Structure 1
């Protein structure tokens, strides 16, 4: 008798299968691939349960159940994987602040979890996933550079403003912002926080929040309100693309809210193309 695929917590023996699965779409799987490349798949090393869906050691989907719940499935397996992951998630209870990932994987998972975890604070069902694998189409802003460690206190207010504007709540509401500051400091030390700082003020900033061997994902793009409308977002992002492609990964990606017409237009000018759809459920 054939056994139906089931979901389970993965271990170090599953690492080759996880790599094969995530390599089917390196841009969409960038966050997960970066985590696995850094830590492997042993439960203690990953720091959060990594669930897998499939038969034996063969995998059709995975889901990282950490601060964010991040599902990823091959086309055609999304609904079956969602049913299996939703069962594990219901048993564990909600510990995440966001469900985020490819829309085809997030949508069926949220459909099953909403009766138990809902209502959510916001559901962004369509977030175009964009990528660029060549030089930017416009001139980069030359004043954008990696942030120095002694500039963390200059960067932090801009990062808090970006987070609050984008997510709708302040990152300072939990532990006084200590965890958020620590994560930002980690990115600065790694050379993955870039900004244009003028007279002690941030004009533009962005972080390279996730990195795998194949791709990286830009997050937290922000322009100071008084400088908006002058093309700084596009030129600053072009600088980030140029830096990331030369020092981090060959493909640069990001995802954007479908209703943010200004940002989408800026990214098109830089040379990004749409390669998929993401979705986010915010609690």
Structure 2
């Protein structure tokens, strides 16, 4: 059986969806991208493409390539399958960021990263379904509004600083626009107390298969008050009324957030890796 790597075209959309749906929890980010933006086979049109490994006529692994390497997201698979795609992309892509199952991201780094990444962190992917949820809720959690943006921006920047050790306000000229766009898309939830925003969480990716939560952040002065537990329970209960599952990436060394996730009902899955090169 011949093994080939090629850029995916419109005719491959159903094969890609079927591949990702075999392990929906570990492919939620890619499933959300596919559902929201479709499969764009022209790399210069829309700024992204998908590449796949085929064993004969069967698609066995795929990699999302955004911004000519600005973000690479491999499908959940062993490193060997992803590595073959990475080797084929070596002359086309300059890796600047990647996220996904650790063996698959490791394979991308080996083939496409020159030198040491600026940041490399391992995470545990936690998942929950409606049957797993505990009794934690806070009905005061609400969608962020555009008038919240001046108060929201410090929390959004604080989340990036803790997660990626980056000053997003200073380093990213488009950061504020992205935060605002996420608010307009109804993907950011906040908790307000005494006129102050004390907690935020984003819906990073959403599809019929579920949603991935990200950038969960409590203002440092408001920690150890139960906000994260109650608000994570609240948004999880709300989203799981219409979705089959949710996921949340928790850094391996973040024992506090891992305890919160488990208390709410999330179960730990496989290890993921996030890499930033520059």
Give the structure-2-normalised TM-score: 0.90
Q: Deviations over 1:30-81 (max 9, x none)?
A: 111111122321324663121111135421111011132111144xxx2332
Which among 59, 74, 87 is matched to residue 71 of structure 1?
74
1:130 aligns with 2:126: yes
For 2:10 and 2:187, the matched residues in 1 are separated by 28
Give the direction of change, closer, same or farther, for the CA distance of 1:144–1:73 in structure 2 (3 Å limit).
closer
Which among 129, 143, 152 is matched to residue 140 of structure 2?
143
Q: Deviations over 1:106-143 (max 9, x none)?
A: 123323334xx221122223x11111101631321222
Cα shift at 1:175 = 4.7
- Say which SS state the counterpart of residue 52 (structure 1) adopts: strand
Which among 150, 158, 179 is matched to residue 184 of structure 1?
179
- Give unpaired runs (5+ residues) of structure 2: none
Alignment-derived partner of residue 161 in structure 1: 158
For 1:18 and 1:243, the matched residues in 2 are separated by 29
Cα shift at 1:185 = 2.0
- Say which SS state the counterpart of residue 26 (structure 2) adopts: coil
Contact 2:161 2:167 in 1 (8 A): yes
Alignment-derived partner of residue 225 in structure 1: 220
1:1-283 mapped onto 2 (5 Å cutoff): 2-3=1-2, 5-44=3-42, 47-55=47-55, 57-66=57-66, 67-74=70-77, 78-96=78-96, 98-114=97-113, 117-125=114-122, 127-134=123-130, 136-176=133-173, 179-246=174-241, 249-283=243-277
Cα shift at 1:276 = 2.2
For 2:79 and 2:187, the matched residues in 1 are separated by 35
Cα shift at 1:190 = 2.3
Give the direction of change, closer, same or farther, for the CA distance of 1:56–1:38 in structure 2 (3 Å limit).
farther
Give the direction of change, closer, same or farther, for the CA distance of 1:152–1:253 in structure 2 (3 Å limit).
same
Contact 1:73 1:81 in 2 (8 A): no
Contact 2:13 2:39 in 1 (8 A): yes
| Worse-matched range after superposition: 216-225 or 133-142 | 133-142
Cα shift at 1:223 = 0.5
RMSD: 1.9
For 1:102 and 1:73, the matched residues in 2 are separated by 6
For 1:175 and 1:99, the matched residues in 2 are separated by 18
